Amino acid sequence: MTAVLDALAAPWEYDFWRRALLVALLSGLVCGVVGGHVVLRGMAFIGDAVAHAVFPGIAVAFVLGTNLVVGGAVAGVLTALLIAVVAQNRRLKEDSVIGIFFAAAFGLGIVILSAAPGYGGSLESFLFGSILGISDGDVVSVAVIGAILLLATALLNGRLVAASLDREQARAVGLPVFWLDIALYVMVTLAIVISLQAVGNVLVLALLVTPAAAARLLTDRLGVMMLLAPAIGAGGSVLGLYLSYAFDLAAGGLIVLTLTGVFVLCWLFAPRHGLLTRPRGRGPAAASRVQVEVSS
Task: Tell me the pLDDT tens digit for each residue of 232-283.
Answer: 999 999 999 999 988 888 888 899 999 999 999 999 999 988 999 877 655 4
Predicted pLDDT at 120 = 56
Residues 294 and 165 sit within 8 Å (Cβ to Cβ): yes
Task: Tell me the pLDDT tens digit for each residue of 145-167.
Answer: 999 999 999 999 999 999 888 88
Predicted pLDDT at 46 = 72
**169 vs 87: which has the higher pLDDT:** 169
Single-letter amino acid, residue 196: L
Position 9 pLDDT exceeds 90? no
Q: What are phi and psi of 221, to 5 degrees?
A: -105, 125
Q: How far is CA 206 from the centre of its chain?
A: 7
Q: CA 144 to CA 128: how far, in whole Å?
A: 23
Q: CA 153 to CA 139: how far, in whole Å?
A: 21
SS (H, E, C) 114-158: HCCCCHHHHHHHHHHCCHHHCCHHHHHHHHHHHHHHHHHHHHHHH
Predicted pLDDT at 230 = 96
Task: Tell me the pLDDT tens digit for each residue of 197-216.
Answer: 788 877 888 899 999 999 99
Separation in Å, CA 34 to CA 8, 37, 138 = 29, 6, 20
Q: How far is CA 265 from the centre of its chain?
A: 20
Position 143 pLDDT exceeds 80? yes
- The answer to whether domain 2-287 has CATH 1.10.3470.10 is yes
Predicted confidence band of residue 92 (pLDDT cuts 50, 70, 90): low
Whether the model clears a pTM of 0.85, i.e. scores above it, the answer is no
CA-nearest of 155, 162, 148, 131 to 68 is 131
Q: Please, is 281 exposed, middle or buried when counting C-beta atoms within 10 Å of its C-beta (0-12, 13-18, 19+)?
A: exposed
Position 30 pLDDT exceeds 80? yes
Q: CA 236 to CA 217: how far, in whole Å?
A: 16
Predicted pLDDT at 121 = 57
